[in-house]
Amino acid sequence: MTEFPRPAEGTWTEHYPELGTGPVAFEDSVAPEFFELERDAIFRRAWLNVGRVDDLPRPGTWFTKDLVAARTSLLVVRDMDGDVRAFHNVCRHRGNKLVWVDDPRQDSSGGARQFACKYHGWRYGLDGVCTYVHQRDEFFGLDQLHLALAPVHCEVWAGFIFVNLEPEPRQTLREFLGPLVGTLEEFPFHLMTERYSFRAENASNWKVFIDAFQEYYHVPPLHTAQLGPVHRNPEATFEGAHYQLDGPHRVVSTSGSLKHRWPAEALYPSEALLRSGNTGPWDAPELGAPLAGVNPGGVERWGIDNFQVFPNLEILVYERGWYLSYRFWPTSHRTHVFEADLWFVPATTARERLAREYAAITVKEYALQDAGTLDGTQLGLESRAFAEFPLNDQEILVRHFHKSVGDWVREYRSVGTAGAPA
């Protein structure tokens, strides 16, 4: 007996026969050599989201983004024409990391008319072209070199800034995102400019962490407290309302917990007081139009879409008119940096501020449970006690993600052995 209609095949997984239904190996999450392959096969070939246009509010604003997995640092800047550009954050002269503040291993941001290298004082415009060489006359044949920063392909979709480190990307950003993620473009991201940001360094493989954010099967047992003070049943079941795959990307839609419809006695006192909680503030902002770009499966009583944009971006859009984005940046085969941003229409009253604050607090409380538990998952997987693991129909996105990662790595290796440049 299912709560939501399923495809004709009877299960979501069998609706996508290429996935199979057999047990899955997670060697891709524990083997150092697999991470070395991912660095080139995925992080130097896929479009990667490195920020939002909100990070670059005016011409001359910039931020740096260390991409450890891709072995580079980027300098992302809004030029004087208002266009967003990305460069390798490396001086043309002797390869010094160009822009940093106090510590070259920390990301930074700011505003500038030009960039000057700390080492020998070479300067660059916002378009990356070198504008000043200190003691130019001492050099040899400098005029024969193109003196500019190394550009990186950079495109903006729905306000999300993406880069691609391939010399010539095989797909445009929109081709890469495909029609499923493309439907989200209509969502009013531009109205949601008030941000709460979190950062964590987690002791697990990046995919192990993503896996916990693309299935809700774990919610009743691990996050039993989320169900409220009275309905603490760890054997409660969960069923996604709609699953859909498109290329390497995937989505799950749910009806959310819709706590604003629950009786007060089933809520924590602070949820009732602040009218907010794990699905965000209960009172939606005035957006002037129904939410667009959501609910690709046409779910009744729709509450949340969880878009998993390959390889490492998650966008969660909520029926109450706000969104969350997560990014997961591997730093080794068993560590990653986790970035979370909650985005709201700006609060205008203290009551709205507190509802948003409580939502931001709540995200951290439960993400800490995930982070602690997934440290344990990493340790368990590394024991190699089991070679393969069973996945149920509610874990279809986990199955699809690891298959997609494997496909990208396999395709990269086959191209590599055919003699194409690595």
Partner 1 sequence: MTASLLPPEFADLEPFAASWCLPSEPERWARRLTSTMAEMQAFYDACFPRAEDAIRYCDAFPLHELPEEAARLLDLLSSLALVSYPVEVWRQPLPIDTGAARIDRIAEPRP
Bridge partners of residue 195, in order along the sequence? 343
- Is 343 in contact with 356 (CB distance < 8 Å)? no
Applying CB under 8 A, does 376 fall inside the site for partner 1? Answer: yes
Cα–Cα separations (whole angstroms), residue 289 to 150, 191, 286? 43, 12, 8
CA separation for the pair 6, 298 (Å, rounded): 13
Applying CB under 8 A, does 352 fall inside the site for partner 1? Answer: yes
For residues 116-155, which are near partner 1 according to CB under 8 A? none
Nearest to 268 by CA among 343, 373, 358, 354: 358
Nearest to 323 by CA among 201, 209, 221, 187: 187
Q: Which of 20, 22, 23, 346 binds partner 1 (CB under 8 A)?
A: 346
Q: Which is nearer to partner 1, 274 or 396 (CB)?
A: 274
Q: Which is nearer to partner 1, 375 or 382 (CB)?
A: 375
Applying CB under 8 A, does 56 fall inside the site for partner 1? Answer: no
Q: Which of 360, 391, 396, 398 binds partner 1 (CB under 8 A)?
A: 360
Taken as a whole, the chain contains a residue count of 422
Q: Residue for token digits 């969104």?
A: 323
Helix (H, G, I), strand (E, B) or coil at 132: strand
Please state the closest distance from residue 76 (CB atom) to partner 1, in A.
17
CA separation for the pair 206, 218 (Å, rounded): 18
Applying CB under 8 A, does 337 fall inside the site for partner 1? Answer: no
Applying CB under 8 A, does 366 fall inside the site for partner 1? Answer: yes
Applying CB under 8 A, does 50 fall inside the site for partner 1? Answer: no
Angle at 41 between CA 39 and CA 45, to 5 degrees: 95
CA separation for the pair 101, 97 (Å, rounded): 11
Q: Which of 150, 225, 287, 422 binds partner 1 (CB under 8 A)?
A: 225
Applying CB under 8 A, does 351 fall inside the site for partner 1? Answer: yes
Q: Which of 4, 119, 132, 198 binds partner 1 (CB under 8 A)?
A: 198
Q: Which is nearer to partner 1, 5 or 376 (CB)?
A: 376
Please state the closest distance from residue 51 (CB atom) to partner 1, in A.
12
**Chain residues in the site for partner 1 (CB under 8 A):** 194-200, 202-203, 222, 225, 229, 268-270, 273-274, 338, 340, 346-354, 356-358, 360-362, 364-369, 371-373, 375-376
